[in-house]
Structure 1
Amino acid sequence: MTKGEETRQFIIEKAAPIFNTKGIAATSMSDIMEATKLSKGSMYVHFENKNVLACAAVDHNMKVLSSKLETALREAKGAKEQLYAYIEFFSNPINPPVSGGCPLLNFGTEADDTNPAVKEKVNTAIKRGQQLLTSIIEKGIADNEFASDWNAAEFATALFAMLEGGHLMSRMSGNNDNMKTIEKTLKKIISEKLI
């Protein structure tokens, strides 16, 4: 990495949790300058405007989330254990895997009507999440771990939506009680599909 690339990456890493916590609209370049201790001129050498930096921060947050999730799934053996690991990975919204909460929920809620570039990034990440869950279930069916009549894509959508909804509910209430109920319900559905 060149010095310029290192500085650019440093800015993204410092900006990512700020954007994820405060939101894109509420985050100012001054917030980023304070976190990085860089001048305005240095900031604009690497990012032509706040929106370009915000997009890079969204990508960074998604990459961090994805990397941590992949690690959690890698340790699970079999499709059932992978689904359980996926659920457990998202089961503590009060202490989330990415600083500031779920970037899909945070950026998606903010960007749905205001930022087409970020909206597309979030939508792509959602589709990837659903595809990952679908492929885990399909592999479980192929390996005779799950019943062959289970609609993998439908359950993947429901699981994904329930976890995101549970994240919102838990963050709003300040506790994980709702997510615990969702976790229990999802695991029950999965266990009923075991052969």
Structure 2
Amino acid sequence: MSGTPGLRPDGTRPEDFAEEARQASDNVCEALRCAGAELSDIVQVRSWLTARGDIEAYVKVRKGVISHRPANMLAADGCDALRGRAVRVSNMPEGDTMPGTSGTRRTPRGLETRSRIVDSAAKLFYVKGVNATTLDDVRLASSTSKSQLYNHFEDKLALIHAVIDVQSKFVLAREEQRLRGVKTLTGLRRWRDALVQANSLQDGSYGCALGAMSIELSDNDEQSRQALNTSFDAWLRMLVETLTRLRVLGVLAEDADPQRLGTGLLAALQGGYVLAQNAHSSEPMAVALDMALDHIESFARS
């Protein structure tokens, strides 16, 4: 929001400088209100005055309007661009690019707000579903204004893509941690136990964070489908690498096919999530994984 002068709605300029400064502040407030924002959303204020003698009066007015402490820049004298106006104020809402930079470098507060929006959306998408969650739901859950939400995400689809990225990183990091140390079939069973136990704690509800989004999005948004497919491919690679490790260590026989066994194991897991969600019980998931692991163990060396 740039170049807000201290002019009245009818275009006239107040005679008194302090009144003009207050009018400029009122104009800023009105512009923010129309955008669904408020003064507390501002993280930087840049002010231009035509006379140094007006600085004290301006600062007094500004302190009475803005109670928090955004970054501040104040210039006075020689401002030909002001065209006779005594004051002009430019404000940078939270999340705008930092001055003197290019691209979309966010302020620390803007990054925190974006993270809060994405985290809130991820929780709502997981519990309510993507289609049942509105942007107003996300805004309320993240305690953000409409201007903050739309400053970071132009629409719901952009937010969905951000959530897919965050959820994928979380799930894949978790799986990498659990699978990287598996060197025995018992270790693979412990991996199974951790998944079933986590699912049991929520009575089978909600399913897999990635699988649930795939069901809702893959046939309707190609970018979401590709992103989720990339995540499932990465998950599958972890399982294949684990099974390959077991074959190299001599736990599994040479004729064991890690690619096929890994695909079957991941399919059993995802199908188990869906059945557990419908049954509100982790039992179907446990059975599906046990059958897949029983098949893998049929390739164990004697």
TM-score for the superposition, normalised by structure 2: 0.59
Question: Any residues of structure 2 matched to 1:9-20 within 5 Å, and which?
Answer: 9-20=115-126
Displacement of 1:25 in angstroms is: 2.0
Q: Does 1:174 align with 2:283?
A: no
Question: Residue 59 and residue 79 in structure 1: after superposition, are their counterparts in 2 closer, same or farther (change >3 A)?
Answer: farther
Aligned equivalents of 2:182 and 2:133: distance in 1?
41
Aligned equivalents of 1:153 and 1:86: distance in 2?
18
Displacement of 1:17 in angstroms is: 1.1
The DSSP-based 3-state class of the residue aligned with 2:201 is: coil
Aligned equivalents of 2:254 and 2:139: distance in 1?
55
Unaligned runs of 5+ in 1: none
Equivalence for 1:130: 236
Equivalence for 1:191: 297
Q: Does 1:40 align with 2:146?
A: yes
AA of the residue aligned to 2:159: L
Unaligned runs of 5+ in 2: 1-106
Aligned equivalents of 2:206 and 2:278: distance in 1?
13
Equivalence for 2:267: 161
Q: What's the % identity of the aligned pairs?
A: 25
The DSSP-based 3-state class of the residue aligned with 1:91 is: helix
The DSSP-based 3-state class of the residue aligned with 1:78 is: coil
The DSSP-based 3-state class of the residue aligned with 1:90 is: helix
Aligned residues: 192
Higher mean C-alpha displacement, 150-159 vs 184-193 = 184-193
The counterpart of 2:248, out of the listed 125, 134, 142, is 142
AA of the residue aligned to 1:60: V
| CA RMSD between the two structures | 2.0
Partner deviation per Cα, 1:76-105 (whole Å, 9 max, x = no partner): 441434432432333243436xx9431222
Bigger Rg over Cα? 2
Aligned equivalents of 1:118 and 1:82: distance in 2?
33
Aligned equivalents of 2:295 and 2:155: distance in 1?
47
Equivalence for 2:196: 91
* Contact 1:14–1:36 (Cα < 8 Å) also in 2: yes
Q: Does 1:103 align with 2:213?
A: no
AA of the residue aligned to 2:109: K
* Higher-RCO chain (CA-CA 8 Å, sequence separation at least 6): 1
Aligned equivalents of 1:16 and 1:166: distance in 2?
22
Displacement of 1:160 in angstroms is: 0.7
TM-score for the superposition, normalised by structure 1: 0.89
* Contact 2:167–2:210 (Cα < 8 Å) also in 1: no
AA of the residue aligned to 1:104: L
* Contact 1:13–1:57 (Cα < 8 Å) also in 2: yes
AA of the residue aligned to 1:151: D
Displacement of 1:176 in angstroms is: 1.7
AA of the residue aligned to 1:90: L
The DSSP-based 3-state class of the residue aligned with 1:101 is: coil
AA of the residue aligned to 2:129: G
Question: Residue 82 and residue 52 in structure 1: after superposition, are their counterparts in 2 closer, same or farther (change >3 A)?
Answer: farther
* Contact 1:94–1:176 (Cα < 8 Å) also in 2: yes
AA of the residue aligned to 2:238: L
Equivalence for 1:117: 223
Aligned equivalents of 2:115 and 2:233: distance in 1?
26
The DSSP-based 3-state class of the residue aligned with 1:123 is: helix
Equivalence for 2:136: 30
The DSSP-based 3-state class of the residue aligned with 2:251 is: coil
Aligned equivalents of 2:127 and 2:169: distance in 1?
16
AA of the residue aligned to 1:3: R
| Higher relative strand content | 2
